[in-house]
Structure 1
C-alpha cells in the first residue's frame, strides 16, 4: 500500500510540475470556464420553460446545462486521458522504462491520469460554484453526497472506454477513433445541452446505451430535484451494468495490445 501511495504521489507531482510550468495554460482554462459559464447563463435567460415542459422539473435551464458541461470534462478525461498518456509516453520514450521499473501497464494507466482527474474535479467545482451563485434556485446541497456517488460510478463506467482506447493506440500506434466516436455520440445524444426526451424515439433508444445519459440524469436528479436513494436506482443499476459488461472487455483487449507491443518491441516508440 505504501508503494502504491508513493507511486501515485510521484506521478501526480510530476504532472503538476509540468502543468504549473505552463501557467498561461491554466489561466486560459480558467478563463474558458468563466466564458462558457456566463455564455450559457445569458443564453438560459431566453429559454422559456413553459415552452419546454421537458425542462420544467429542473426549474431552470442554466444549472441543467452547466451540469452537462461539467460532467463532459470527466467524460473527456476518462475516454481520452488514458490513450493520450500512452501516446505521450511512447513519443517521449518513457513508457518502456516506466514499465521496466516495476509499474504494471494497468498501474501506469491509473497513475498517469490521476492528475487529470484531480484537475477535472477542480474544474467541475468552479462550474458548480459559479452556477450555484448565478442561478435563482441553486443546487440542493443536502443531496450532494448522492451526486458524488453518481460521479464516482460515472468515472468507473466512462473509464472502461478509455482503457479500450488506450489499447487501440498501443496496438495500432494511431489516434483513437473509439474515444472520438464515443465522445461525439455522448455529447449529442446523452442530454448534455438539452433533455433526451426532445430526441426522436429511435435516437432516444440510442441514448439509453450511452453511460453518459444515465450519469447526467442521476446527477441532475441529485442536485436539482428532491429525491431519495431509491429514486436513483435506475441510473445506479444502469452504470453498474455498463461497468460489468465493458470493463472485462476493455481489460482483455488492453492486455492483448500490451502483449503485442512487447512482442513487436513497440513500447518505446509511436
Structure 2
C-alpha cells in the first residue's frame, strides 16, 4: 500500500504475524493507558458525566412533548441523542486516527525511521485504528450500561448487528481520514477536509436533529454525506431492533462509497508522501 519496510510473508503465516502485531500494539496502548491512572479515571468520568448530562436533557425534553420526526426510530428522544453522540465519537475516531499517527511521528521525528522498519506505515495505520476502535467501543459500552441502568434508555441489545453497521460506515469515513492525513503530511498543520466533513456532519447528517427540520432548499446536502445514511442505519438497528436484512441496501451503498473514498485516499496519500519525500520534509513538524 505505502512505501517503507519489507513485506510480511504471504498466506496464513503472514496473517498470523499481522494479528500478533495488532495485539501487541493494543497491549502497548493498554499499558500506556493504565500508566496514566489519573488521566484514565478523569477521562472515563468526563465521558460518563457528559452522557449523563445528555440523559437529563433528554429526560427534561421528553416530559410533555411529542417528537413525530423521530417516530420512525421509536420516538425515544434520549435514545436519539445518545446514538447521535456515539456515532459522532466513531466519526471523530475515523477522521483523527490516521492524521494523528502522522502528526505524532512527525513531532517525535520518527516518521522516517518507521518507514525504514519492518512495520510499514499502512500497518501502523491499521494498528492505531484497531486499538482506538477497541478503546472507544469499551468506553461507550460502559457508558451505555450506566445509561440503561440510570435512565432506562430504550436501546435494543442488537449490538452485534450494530457493530456490523459501524464497521461498514467506517469505510467511507476512513477514506476521508486518509484524505485528511495526505493533507497533513504536506501542510503539517491545518486539515480543511476533516474540519469540513465534521462541520457538515454536525449540521446536515441528522446526528443531533432530524434532517427534515432543515429548509427544503438546503436539505439535499444531507444526502451527499455518508454519515446521514450511517446514523440512520445505526438508529434503526439499535432503536427499532431491525436486522441487517432490512438495512442491506444502505450497507451496500456505504460499502461502495467507502471503496471509492478509500481508493481516492490511498492515491492522495501516495502523492503527498512522494511530494514530501522529494522535498525532504517527511520529518518536519
Both proteins in one fold, TM over 0.5: yes
Report how far residue 110 of structure 1 moved.
1.4
1:26 aligns with 2:43: no
1:82 aligns with 2:92: no
1:11 aligns with 2:25: yes
Corresponding pairs, count: 269
**1:240, 1:205 → 2: CA distance?**
21
Deviates more, 1:128-137 or 1:187-196: 128-137
Q: How does 1:1-270 map to 2 (within 5 A)?
A: 1-48=15-62, 51-57=66-72, 58-136=74-152, 138-141=154-157, 143-270=158-285
SS of the residue corresponding to residue 61 of structure 2 reads coil
**1:107, 1:261 → 2: CA distance?**
20
Change (3 A) 1:47 1:8: same
**1:200, 1:231 → 2: CA distance?**
29
Contact residue 44 and residue 62 of structure 1 kept, 8 A: yes
**2:254, 2:225 → 1: CA distance?**
10
Question: Superposition RMSD on alpha carbons, in Å?
Answer: 2.0
1:78-105 Cα offsets, whole Å, 9 max, x none, are 1011101110111101211111012222
**2:121, 2:217 → 1: CA distance?**
39
Report how far residue 228 of structure 1 moved.
3.7
**1:33, 1:215 → 2: CA distance?**
22
Change (3 A) 1:29 1:157: same
Change (3 A) 1:149 1:127: same
1:169-207 Cα offsets, whole Å, 9 max, x none, are 112222212111111211222122212222222332111
Change (3 A) 1:137 1:262: closer
TM-score normalized by the length of structure 1 = 0.91
Q: What 5-or-longer segments of structure 2 have no aligned partner?
A: 1-14
SS of the residue corresponding to residue 217 of structure 2 reads helix
TM-score normalized by the length of structure 2 = 0.87
SS of the residue corresponding to residue 132 of structure 1 reads helix
Report how far residue 158 of structure 1 moved.
1.1
